[in-house]
Chains A and B, each alone.
Chain A
Amino acid sequence: MTAVTTAPADPETRVRQSTPRPRGRLRPWLYLLPSAAVLLPLFGYPIYMLGLLSVFDYRQAQVSGGEPTRFIGFDNYATLLGDQRFWSVLAQTVVFAAVLVIATLAVGAALAVVLTKAGRVPRLLLSLAAMAAWAAPAMTGSTVWMFLFDADLGLVNQLLGIEGYNWFYDKWVTFGIVGATVVWHSFPFVMVTLYAGIQAIPSSVVEAASLDGASAWHSFWRVIVPMLRPLVTIVVIQSIIWDFKIFTQIYVMTNGGGIAGQNSVLNVYAYQTAFGSSEYGLGSAIGVIMTLILLVVTLLYIRALYRSGEKL
């Protein structure tokens, strides 16, 4: 505070003093130090270790049996690529995620448009309901949907008047119910984001379109959608990343991957391979493949961010 009394400098020098503000070169790194102290050992190092484990023969015998760990190069990957089961899990992960992304987007976007057209009270009701679904933990969302579809006491069976029908036996029906739970959780994000985006479009643009004779349908597809494209890209990629990583819903609702693991997705498959079958090396290899796929999506995401004019 002493500087105040000893600096009767004229305004110009004051300004000049304050402009090259970020003077300390080390200061930003000082501020980043706590993050680095947490993230390097607990995030960076495990990623490196994941890669390392994936090229070793690392099973229960090595973990607790004292057997030497053996470097086996890409054998784990070769095992996976030659395994019919890996390919079928990969395929159903991709299909499941794709369907989820499309469904989430369709529901979210449609309701975002509805929000812009609806009156105040219905809009408030839908926003609040969506918030509740958004906030509900994946765990409790799963338990509630399981209860709704329970064979004996579930509401759905009671309404349909079918007693004891188990919805979780059939692979695709199960995927459908789990998918509905996931969409229920994730459409609010899409809805709220797109709604905010639509609100941000100057009304003059839409008015101009309608003066030019565009119908509501036309001005939606030709004016609003193109203007929202950057936002939509971001929402799509964010959804891909989330839906590709679904874990809790599958794990809880199908009790670890369904009958004979028929409802496994990559994430659950990696976890079960490592902790269920004690094949830690093989599980890590699945994890690496997943990470690589997500990395590609992430790079697309970063490119989309740049294109939308986001300054990094």
Chain B
Amino acid sequence: MSRSRLAANTVAVVAAVVTFFPIYWMVLSALKPAGEIQSLEVRPWTLAPTFEHFQRVLGGENFSRYLLNSLGIALTVVVLSAVVAFLAAVAVTRFHFRFRTTVLIMFLVAQMVPVEALTIPLFFLIRDIGTAVPGVGLNTLGSLVLVHLACSLPFAVWMMRGFVAAVPEALEEAAMIDGASRSVILWRILFPLVAPGLIATSVFSFIAAWNDFIFARTFIISAKDNQTLPAALLVFFKPDENDWGGIMAASTLMTIPVLIFFVAVQRRLVAGLGGAVKD
């Protein structure tokens, strides 16, 4: 083994350990008995793993309810945004029409808008919509679905564009020659072919909705039942003493679904990042 290879291997392993350490520490602390967390002795393992923190977290403070809320919102957003983004991506890749570039640039610009600043007008908008349609007003899960759908779409369209463009047009042409209708081509041929890309895109929509903190904090004011996970996490921060075992167990519960999704599609992520990796 050459010296440079050895050095690279060493750096890679050290970087991997350092990078993974916070995740490891989170899971470890979630499994440590309370006594060990309190102890001042440094011990990067535990001999008595316990689920007491998980039980406390899932049992009390409405946590499992919040988990379901978060999951429901994220999945609804994923399904809606997949269909809507797919259609838009087909429009901008398969057709040449006036303002096509303008539309594309608008999808790009929309990604850059600081969403946090938009919470101010969105708050009033959602409040006003709520008086007309109570299902999507303040304090509802519906409002979060709507807002996340809007926020995840620009990026989803941008990413889907690459996947749709990767499908050879010849396939659709052949189907058209065989007399397939537009909708058959769209849903029976193109849609299954871009399904892997759709899944990769969905992961981003899922993560964005799942991770959201600011909208849940802003829109869900009084309806405690409609809180989502990130807000639920804050419950374990107490002014006198933080319940670190609970916080780490809740954090673990919040991280694992995303981690699974992410690893499952990691190969496609790079390919889909807006063609940034071309050439």
Contact = CB atoms under 8 A, between A and B. Distances in A.
B279 A140 contact: no
A283 B19 CA distance: 36
Given A153-B38, A234-B276, A129 B20 contact: yes
Contact of A32 (B8, B91, B117, B176): B91
Contact of B88 (A18, A34, A122): A34
Given A29-B91, A140-B255, A291-B113, A53 B5 contact: no
Interface in B85-115: 85, 87-88, 90-92, 94-97, 100-101, 103-105, 108-110, 112-115
Interface stretch (A79-87, A94-102, A206-214, A270-278): A270-278
Is chain A's binding surface mostly helix, strand, loop or mixed?
helix
A136 B8 contact: no
A137 B26 contact: no
Contacts of A308: 278-279
Interface in A261-304: 267-268, 270-271, 274-275, 280, 283-284, 286-288, 290-291, 294-295, 297-298, 301-302
Contacts, number: 319
Interface string B240-279: 0110100110011011001101110010011001011111
A132 B103 contact: no
A38 B152 CA distance: 11
Contacts of B29: 147
Contact of B125 (A2, A14, A46, A136): A46
Nearest to A132: B23
A32 B88 contact: yes
Interface in A92-126: 111, 114-115, 117-119, 122-123, 125-126
B193 interface: no
B156 to A, nearest CB: 9
A78 interface: no
Contacts of B20: 128-129, 132-133
B168 interface: no
Contact of A27 (B11, B23, B104, B182): B182
B133 to A, nearest CB: 12
Contacts of B40: 158, 163
B182 to A, nearest CB: 7
Interface residues of A, number: 113
Given A35-B87, A53-B120, A119 B9 contact: yes
Contacts of B266: 127, 131
Which of B110, B241, B248, B255: most chain A Cβ within 10 A?
A: B255
Nearest to B147: A42
Nearest to B4: A117
B210 to A, nearest CB: 7
A216 B2 CA distance: 14
Nearest to B84: A34
Contact of B214 (A122, A200, A248, A283): A248
B42 A143 contact: no
A147 B247 contact: yes
Given A141-B22, A231-B277, A136 B255 contact: yes
Interface string B38-65: 1011100000000000000000000000
Contacts of B149: 38, 42
A18 B108 contact: no
B154 interface: yes
A275 B276 contact: no
A197 interface: yes
A59 B113 CA distance: 24
A196 interface: yes
A221 to B, nearest CB: 16
Nearest to A139: B230
A298 B109 contact: yes
A41 B233 CA distance: 31
Contact of B173 (A7, A18, A42): A18
Contacts of B119: 271, 274-275
B53 to A, nearest CB: 13
Given A137-B258, A158-B40, A283 B114 contact: no
A245 B279 CA distance: 29
A122 B207 contact: no
Given A32-B88, A128-B20, 20 more contacts: A4-B178, A28-B92, A35-B153, A38-B84, A38-B150, A49-B125, A50-B120, A114-B8, A126-B12, A129-B20, A132-B20, A133-B19, A135-B255, A140-B255, A144-B25, A216-B4, A244-B114, A271-B116, A284-B121, A290-B117
Smallest CB-CB A-B distances: 7 pairs: A287-B117, A3-B179, A135-B262, A117-B8, A42-B150, A49-B121, A31-B91
Interface of A: 1-4, 7, 14, 17-18, 21-22, 24-25, 27-32, 34-35, 38-39, 41-43, 45-47, 49-50, 53, 63, 111, 114-115, 117-119, 122-123, 125-141, 143-145, 147-148, 150, 152-153, 155, 158-159, 163, 184, 188, 192-193, 196-197, 200, 216, 230-231, 234-235, 238, 241, 244-245, 247-248, 251-252, 267-268, 270-271, 274-275, 280, 283-284, 286-288, 290-291, 294-295, 297-298, 301-302, 308-310, 312
22 contacts: A27-B95, A31-B95, A43-B113, A43-B151, A45-B125, A111-B12, A126-B19, A135-B262, A137-B211, A143-B247, A144-B23, A153-B37, A153-B244, A158-B40, A158-B41, A235-B276, A247-B116, A248-B211, A275-B120, A288-B117, A290-B114, A290-B117
